[in-house]
Chains A and B, each alone.
Chain A
Amino acid sequence: MLVRFREAFQEFWRLKVSKVGVVFLMILVFLSVYVVTSYPLDFGVRYWNNPAYWADYPKSAPPSWVNYFSDQKLPEHHVFIYNKPSDIISTESGRTLLYVFRLDFQADKSPTFISFTLENLTYYSDPLVARLNVTRPDGKNIELYRYIAPAPYAGESPPYKRFYDSPKRISITGDISVASVLARFLLREYNVSIKPSEINSIGQHTIVFSIPGPDKEFYVLKGEYIFMVSINTYDSRDYVGEVKLVIGGNVYGFMGTDSLGRDLSIGLLFGFPIALFIGIVTSTITTLLGAGLGIVGGYVGGKVDEVIQRAADFVNNIPLLPLLIFLAFILGQNMWILVFLLVAFGWPTLTIIVRSMVLQLKSSQFIEAAISLGAPRLWIMFRHIFPQVAPFIFAQLIFFTPTFILLEAALSFLGLGDPTMPTWGQILEYGFRSGGIYVGLWWWIIPPGLLIIWTAITFVLIALGMEPVVNPRLRRMK
């Protein structure tokens, strides 16, 4: 048995497709293991499908490496986070905490937004006051924003904790008070008069990062920008947990983002274990069930066989996808239900083939010998028949896997995917439904499709490599 296995493996390994397939599979498994061990289990609900989590990410941003291929350099996305102040100045009323963010800006377009976030503000006497200042490369300074932490409620006693659970996000872009500040700034420094509402539509971030021309056009100002958040405290015990400044870019990360700002590389990575899981688990259960019923039907015969045959014929005669859609729609979108449905519709093909193989085996001499020796039926099925059909069944298992991966993707694409976990099909579905394909967001559309194909091809290659092992007629021809 062991020798046979080794021979079979050598036969398999001789082909180039097998090697490529196995290497691909190892990469897939490695990535899946990485994801399973490093991602939280509730990733889908807590992060992926939670828009608040992605608020500080640029929307529909292509991958940052597109800058290498274009003349116009798009701004990168910058997130600055400080847990401790970079400087502390003591004054007579208390201390001022300074957070300094330096940004060397060399892109040809201004950023897409500016926001800053405060988390866990604790004060004991007067509310904290935070200011955001920017010093531009031309030396001009603008105080963009002033924020006072919410005052104590009636009956509240110190310490007053603010934004402990969820941080306070202040968007400079879109803030009308900032627009007024900038309007005054433009008038004072450049003698350009623009109404705050107009600034609001141009974008506050654009004004900050550029110099106005005579006809209200804006030229990007390159160089070092120094953003400074200063927070006045009035008690020595006052505390600031975290200060975050985000200068929204037009490109993001290695894979870009979708229209909600979700980092696609994270979502795409999460798709690996799910695709493999659905493909392999469904295929394994389907194959075992299908083959088991085929062996039992073929070997036992009679009424049992009749029932199995009728059922297989019935399932084989119905169009799969419409019924899958119906059931996924009525029963709900859940991965386990999906696996169950795929198994329920997948088993007959194998049952029919295995049954005919068993019928042939049944009349062979070694089975008749075993029967005449009085071996029990189950024993014969497991010890004598199963090993004979096992290589074929195993090859079918591999061969079925891509079918299920593609079916899951198709259902997800139709909006029937499990909403608690992102899959490649769902990422594509959202890209399609939100119109990403009509505006050419290729980084959103192409990678998930390629990953589906890659995963499916991996199994096709392995199946191709196994064919000469399972089908001895082909082996001899080589």
Chain B
Amino acid sequence: MGLARTLSMRALTLVAVLVLVVFFMVIILGATGTSDKILQAMVNEEVMMLRQSLAKTIKDPQELERVINIRKQELMEFYGLTKPWYVRLPDMAWRVLTLDLGKARTLKTFAGGNKVSDIVIERLTNTIILVTSATIISALIGLVLGVRIATKVGGILDRISSYMSAISYAIPTWWIGIILIMVFSFLLKLFPFGGLYSAPPPSDPYLRFLDLLWHSVLPVTTLVIASVGVWIYTTRTIVLNTAQEDFVNAARARGLPEELVRRRYIMRVAAPPILTNVILGLATSISGAILTETVFNWPGLGRLFYDAVLVMDEVVVIALTYIFTLVYVVARFLLEVLYVTLDPRVRY
């Protein structure tokens, strides 16, 4: 009962965030005149195609110009270019929400298309592969080590991990990636400099998968190094705090076996707050992914972002900002579903 209500409330909040972000973006785009530029480009595109097709039928150049001008006026009207930018805010927002942003100026899909939505969507999977595998590995290492350290507080491992998490707070993820490339690709020649597959990619699916693994070692390691310190430290702290709770002692007094106490009374209770930390760290993982993909030329959304900024492809930048917010909101919602199922206390 409370579960569905809590979740739908969260979903509503997150959708509101998404819509607000889009409106905020559109206002910025409108006020800076960028949206005019984008719509104008879409009009010009259609006019150009029209000119090509009409040129075959209408031979008189003056007549051609006249027809095209009429059509152009209609298109300007249609895209709202005749009205001030704040009037077409909702229209522009809808365009962003549905990724109806026309064509990228220079960036292309792997197959050569230049529709923004295609470009963005085909890269999404690569980003998800990278981020989820890195998160799962960091989580596993963090949980295992964090729990172990929590049983030996003040030991060497504990001190190392607390220093590590402090230091990892001060090290830029992308610089770690660069150093890994210098050491493992340039110096030791163990791993490729970047990319998703070798060129040309192996045709055998199994070898192809191995090739992908080989290419993902360094980027995944980079993301893991960047986040594992925090994982270990928060796990340690939360497990430690939970282990000192009265109910753990009470469970021991009931003669429950230590293994069960640890699993059901410490880990199970510590899980939701640890998950909260994951949720809070989500934005950081997305930033980490953008920079890491850039460094390793990993053809995901992050690298696309870098390329789009580099070649000043503003429609792609807009689409990506929106997609990243969307991915963030969806991921956050999924984690919150997990959180609510794990922690009965928030089901209200």
Chain A interface residues (CB < 8 Å from chain B): 313-314, 317-323, 325-327, 329-331, 402, 406, 409-410, 413-416, 428, 432-433, 437-440, 442, 445-446, 449, 452-453, 456-457, 459-460, 464
Contacts and interface: CB of A to CB of B under 8 A. Distances in A.
Contacts of B170: 402, 406, 453, 456-457, 459-460
Contact of A321 (B20, B29, B186, B286): B286
A416 B328 contact: no
A428 B175 contact: yes
Interface in B127-185: 166-167, 169-172, 174-175, 178-179, 181-182, 185
B21 A323 contact: yes
Interface stretch (B70-78, B87-95, B238-246, B315-323): B315-323
Contact of B186 (A317, A320, A439, A452): A439
Given A321-B290, A445-B178, A402 B169 contact: yes
Contact of A319 (B317, B318, B325): B325
Contacts of A320: 283, 287
B179 A446 contact: yes
A460 B17 contact: no
12 contacts: A314-B20, A321-B286, A321-B287, A322-B324, A326-B317, A326-B321, A329-B317, A331-B28, A438-B186, A452-B175, A456-B171, A457-B167
Contacts of B295: 432
Contacts of A433: 310
B193 interface: yes
A437 B186 CA distance: 8
B167 A460 contact: yes
B193 A438 contact: yes
Contacts of A321: 283, 286-287, 290-291
A453 B166 CA distance: 11
A209 B296 CA distance: 42
Contacts of A322: 286, 290, 305, 320-321, 324-325
A410 B179 contact: no
Interface in B293-311: 294-295, 305-306, 309-310
Interface residues of B, number: 48
7 nearest interchain CB pairs?
A456-B170, A322-B324, A321-B287, A449-B175, A326-B321, A319-B328, A317-B17
Contacts of A331: 28, 32
Nearest to B282: A319
A447 to B, nearest CB: 11
Contacts of A442: 182
Nearest to A406: B172
Contacts of B167: 457, 460
Given A318-B21, A325-B321, A453-B170, A414 B291 contact: yes
A322 B321 CA distance: 5
B178 A432 contact: yes
B328 A318 contact: yes
Contact of A437 (B28, B172, B182): B182
Given A323-B325, A413-B174, 15 more contacts: A314-B20, A317-B329, A319-B287, A321-B286, A321-B290, A325-B290, A325-B309, A414-B309, A428-B178, A438-B186, A438-B193, A440-B182, A445-B178, A453-B171, A456-B170
Contacts of B32: 330-331
Contacts of B17: 314, 317-318
B305 to A, nearest CB: 6
A19 to B, nearest CB: 16
B13 interface: yes
Contacts of A452: 172, 175
B325 A415 contact: no
Contact of B166 (A313, A432, A437, A460): A460
Contacts of A460: 166-167, 169-170
Which of A321, A322, A410, A415 has the largest count of B CB atoms less than 10 A from its CB? Answer: A322
A413 B305 CA distance: 12
A417 to B, nearest CB: 11
B314 to A, nearest CB: 7
Contacts of A437: 178, 181-182, 186
B25 A413 contact: no
Given A319-B286, A323-B321, A440 B186 contact: yes
B124 interface: no
Contacts of A453: 170-172, 175
A266 B68 CA distance: 57
Contacts of A440: 182, 186-187
Nearest to B288: A321
Contacts of A314: 17, 20
A416 B321 CA distance: 15
Interface string B21-40: 10001001100101000000
A313 B16 CA distance: 11
B169, B291, B314 — most chain A CB neighbours (10 Å): B169
A258 B187 CA distance: 20
B289 to A, nearest CB: 9
B335 interface: no
Nearest to B323: A322
Between A320, A321, A416, the greatest number of chain B beta carbons within 10 A of the residue's beta carbon is seen for A321
B14 interface: yes
A232 to B, nearest CB: 52
B291 A410 contact: yes
A453 B305 CA distance: 25
Given A406-B170, A438-B193, A327 B305 contact: no
B314 A329 contact: yes
Which residue of B28, B282, B305, B309 has the most chain A CB atoms within 10 A of its CB atom?
Answer: B309
Contacts of A415: 306, 309-310
A409 B172 contact: yes
A464 B167 CA distance: 11
A402 B13 CA distance: 31
A319 B13 CA distance: 15
A317 B172 CA distance: 22
A459 B309 CA distance: 31
A331 B32 CA distance: 8
B314 A330 contact: yes
Contacts of A410: 172, 174, 287, 291
Nearest to B291: A410
Contacts of B29: 330
A319 B186 contact: no
A442 B305 CA distance: 26
A449 B166 contact: no
Among A323, A327, A459: residue with most chain B CB under 10 A: A323
Contact of B28 (A327, A414, A456): A327
Nearest to B25: A326
A459 B295 CA distance: 26
Interface string B243-272: 000000000000000000000000000000
A414 B178 contact: no
A413 B309 CA distance: 11
B13 A317 contact: yes
A136 to B, nearest CB: 38
Nearest to A313: B13
A416 B291 CA distance: 13
B187 A318 contact: no
B309 A329 contact: yes
Given A323-B321, A323-B325, A449 B25 contact: no
